[in-house]
């Protein structure tokens, strides 16, 4: 009889079956506790504060907000922010742009906006002192330059697009809820295929590690914040000496928010997708390089927490796709008897993947894909989860040497 050109695959031997069974048990021991932690956080979702809505100002917040924007070569991105701030009403006393010696005409754009709206002003911060990162240094200088008559300090990034009614809605919510500091998660603007795939996977690393936006977090070390829209009582910021506690942090927003929470002040992180948009980075490569540097939050977290977060992300975000693909390949190549640990592992990771797609559906309103090329790749972003988790690992063990055009020793 003619021989088959290729040998037929054989069932796994007894030793291999024992190995697969033991490996399945090990993975279950790794994943089950992490899944329980994830579920405990997701179950808080129904109790969260609803998204911030744009509002009309009331007379009691007249001139109560000083906006401070740090800039370094932001000429290509800052115009939507300037336009959006000019549409805020009388609650904004002033809008101060602190420029770190831009070479692209950023200060000139602000001066042009000042001709239309006298609330704008721009000044250059002092040379960067040793031990400070550029962004918190600029914000600290802006705080020192802001009017002591303002009740609130609002830090905003140059890449944000505020809707009319943002500041009034934010201040009124902070007053009604008794927040001393509150920041917002924005709606992200996606444009290119690579970032449609990668950016949601990177964002998911935050959603897995922390409570949903709108949930009051009791532990200061688990507080989340976003410096793109960061409102703080001026008296509180004065009490903690401005941004001094976050001077050397590459995630100064979270570092400062956690420090303020540890002093006993009420800190909140709310959904701002209906009042704030942001175009953070141009394409997947820049997103990987720039955003990935700070997503580990190592400057705001003790080492044990970093390791715990890496375990959690590996277990519930990085491994499910890899395990399911490996199982499919194993089943295809090696017919085998049913193994209880392997079947349990398969069921758990199908469950985790279902959760992942459910969360993707939940965060869809946090993305503006109207002008995106191949925006449908957003729905395939779970395929990039192992890469996103790898990026957090890489960042957790590296100290940034360059940030937004500045080099650090």
Give pLDDT tens digits for 119-132.
999 999 878 899 89
Q: Are strands 120-124 and 92-99 parallel, antiparallel or unpaired?
A: parallel
pLDDT band at 403 (very low <50, low <70, confident <90, very high): low
pLDDT at 321 (0 to 100): 95
Average predicted confidence (pLDDT) for the chain: 91
On the question of pLDDT at 7 being above 60, the answer is no
| CA distances for 97 relative to 85, 89, 102, 120, 123, angstroms | 12, 18, 12, 7, 7
- Among the listed ranges 92-106, 226-240, 304-318, 393-407, which one has the minimum average pLDDT value? 393-407
Paired with 278 in beta bridges are: 160, 188
The residue written with tokens 């042009």 in the block is: 112
Axis crossing angle, helix 252-262 with helix 134-145, rounded to the nearest 10: 60
Report d(CA 13, CA 16) in Å as an integer: 5
Domains of the chain, earliest start first: 59-194+212-277 (3.90.550.10)
pLDDT at 336 (0 to 100): 61
Torsion angle of the four alpha carbons 28, 33, 37, 40, in this order, in degrees rounded to the nearest 10: 90
Which of 88, 140, 99 minimizes the C-alpha distance to 122? Answer: 99
The residue written with tokens 């993947």 in the block is: 353
pLDDT band at 191 (very low <50, low <70, confident <90, very high): very high
pLDDT at 1 (0 to 100): 46
On the question of pLDDT at 118 being above 80, the answer is yes
Q: What is the pLDDT of residues 65-96, one digit of tens each?
A: 999 999 999 999 999 999 999 999 999 999 99
pLDDT at 14 (0 to 100): 67
Report d(CA 364, CA 375) in Å as an integer: 11
Q: What is the mean pLDDT of residues 166-178?
A: 96
On the question of pLDDT at 405 being above 80, the answer is no
Q: What is the mean pLDDT of residues 150-175?
A: 96
On the question of pLDDT at 46 being above 50, the answer is yes
Which of 400, 190, 393 minimizes the C-alpha distance to 282? Answer: 190
pLDDT band at 218 (very low <50, low <70, confident <90, very high): confident
Number of neighbours of residue 305 by Cβ within 10 angstroms: 15
pLDDT band at 6 (very low <50, low <70, confident <90, very high): very low
Largest CA distance in the chain: 96
């Amino acid at each position: 009889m003619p021989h088959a050109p290729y040998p037929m695959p054989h069932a796994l031997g007894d030793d291999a079956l024992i190995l697969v069974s033991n490996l399945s048990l090990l993975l279950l021991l790794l994943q089950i506790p992490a899944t329980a932690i994830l579920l405990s956080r997701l179950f808080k979702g129904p109790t969260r504060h609803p998204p911030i809505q744009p509002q009309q100002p009331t007379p009691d917040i007249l001139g109560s907000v000083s906006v401070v924007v740090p800039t370094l070569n932001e000429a290509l991105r800052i115009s939507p922010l300037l336009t959006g701030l000019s549409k805020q009403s009388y609650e904004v006393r002033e809008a101060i742009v602190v420029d770190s010696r831009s070479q692209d005409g950023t200060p000139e754009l602000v001066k042009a906006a000042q001709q239309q709206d006298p609330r704008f002003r721009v000044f250059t911060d002092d040379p960067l002192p040793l031990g400070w990162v550029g962004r918190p240094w600029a914000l600290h200088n802006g705080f020192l330059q802001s009017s002591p008559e303002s009740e609130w300090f609002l830090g905003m990034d140059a890449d944000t697009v505020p809707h009319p009614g943002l500041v009034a809605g934010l201040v009124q919510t902070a007053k009604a809820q008794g927040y001393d500091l509150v920041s917002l998660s924005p709606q992200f603007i996606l444009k290119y295929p690579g970032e449609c795939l990668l950016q949601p996977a990177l964002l998911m690393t935050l959603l897995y590690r922390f409570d949903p936006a709108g949930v009051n977090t009791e532990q200061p070390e688990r507080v989340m914040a976003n410096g793109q829209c960061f409102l703080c009582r001026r008296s509180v910021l004065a009490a903690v000496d401005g941004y001094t506690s976050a001077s050397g942090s590459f995630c100064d927003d979270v570092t400062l928010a956690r420090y303020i929470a540890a002093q006993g002040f009420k800190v909140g992180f709310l959904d701002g997708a209906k009042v704030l948009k942001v175009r953070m980075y141009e394409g997947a490569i820049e997103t990987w390089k720039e955003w990935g540097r700070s997503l580990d939050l190592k400057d705001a977290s003790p080492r044990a927490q970093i390791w715990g977060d890496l375990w959690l992300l590996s277990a519930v975000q990085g491994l499910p796709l890899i395990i399911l693909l490996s199982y499919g390949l194993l089943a295809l190549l090696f017919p085998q008897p049913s193994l209880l640990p392997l079947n349990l592992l398969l069921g758990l990771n199908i469950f985790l993947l279902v959760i992942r797609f459910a969360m993707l559906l939940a965060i869809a309103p946090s993305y503006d894909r109207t002008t995106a090329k191949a925006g449908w790749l957003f729905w395939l972003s779970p395929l990039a989860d192992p890469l996103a988790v790898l990026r957090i690992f890489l960042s957790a063990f590296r100290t940034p040497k360059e940030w937004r055009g500045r080099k650090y020793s």
